[in-house]
Amino acid sequence: MFSYDFMQNAFIAGTVVSIVAGIVGTFVVARNYAFLTHSLSEIGFAGAAFGLFAGWPALLGMMLATSGASIAIGALESSYTKRDNVTSAISALAIGLGILFLALGHTSTTAATGILFGSVLGISRQNLLLLLTLALVVIVTLLINYRALRQLAFDEAGIFLQNSRQKMVRYIFLVMIALSVSISSQLVGSLLIFVLVTLPAASAKYYMTTPPKLMGLAILFALFGTWSGLSLAYLTNLPTSFFIAVIEVLIYLFSVWQFQKNA
């Protein structure tokens, strides 16, 4: 299996994406940002479609769209509007635009499917390098701001000094989610982002009680799904995203069941 270049690339990409998703996901789940993350992936779809229409790499279009949208959502969130409503409005607009750009760009069905469902087996060395760089940026940025982020995600009410540094951390967090969504979509596609960013971290929270351990277990769950998914896809010739989705959902359901049984 590893004698093929494309399988090597896919495993490296899968590993990197799982690590990023596990770390970011822990904060996303703690802050109840699952819905926002899902919407960002829809916005990412629009960005990718625009990218293809404009003749850019899809990932670049995706990054620009998700980062822009996350900043917009952050700005609106701090006023009195309800977060979920703002997010729905922006993502509805995004999907509409995505469909428009796909039509205008006469994009092939393969390219469109790639954006929506992922195309990990088609990742090139060049794409891989970009992916690794982005992953490194996300991980380093999150770790530098670890403690402020930890408080924001796990206990926002406890922040009573709303200084400019705190506001900055909010935006940094949102942009890092946006970048993670863009990176993860390379693997599972924009429709299934929450399979890697939300589900492993949501499962981990039923077992672990400290943030580093939550991140660790979330990474393990994500890696397990990704590696098994890639292997099964190789053996069966069925889509990778399908296997990853099934595995992560099963882990999640088992975790909830365990927790309810014991608690």
Q: According to CB under 8 A, which one of 35, 146, 224, 227 is a site residue for another protein? A: 146
Using CB under 8 A as the binding rule, the residues of this chain from 42 to 101 that contact another protein are none
**Is the alpha carbon torsion for 28, 33, 38, 42 positive or negative?**
negative
Nearest-angstrom CA–CA distance, 97 and 47? 9
Residue 219 within binding range of another protein, rule CB under 8 A: no
Element (H, E) at 143: helix 125-144
How near is the Cβ of 151 to another protein at its closest, in Å?
Answer: 4
- Give residue 159's Cα distance to chain centre: 26
Residue 214 within binding range of another protein, rule CB under 8 A: yes
- Give residue 70's Cα distance to chain centre: 13
Span of 105-113, 126-134, 146-154, 222-230 interacting with another protein by CB under 8 A = 146-154
Residue 2 within binding range of another protein, rule CB under 8 A: no
Query: What is the DSSP secondary structure assignment for residue 46, as one 8-state letter?
Result: H
Span of 74-82, 171-179, 208-216, 223-231 interacting with another protein by CB under 8 A = 208-216
Nearest-angstrom CA–CA distance, 199 and 197? 6
- Toward another protein, which CB reaches closer, 99 or 139? 139
The token pair at 58 is 């899809």
Residue 158 within binding range of another protein, rule CB under 8 A: yes
Span of 61-69, 140-148, 184-192, 244-252 interacting with another protein by CB under 8 A = 140-148
Residue type, 129: L
Nearest-angstrom CA–CA distance, 150 and 211? 8
Residue 147 within binding range of another protein, rule CB under 8 A: yes
| Site residues, another protein (CB under 8 A) | 30, 143-148, 150-151, 154-155, 157-162, 204-206, 208-212, 214, 259, 263
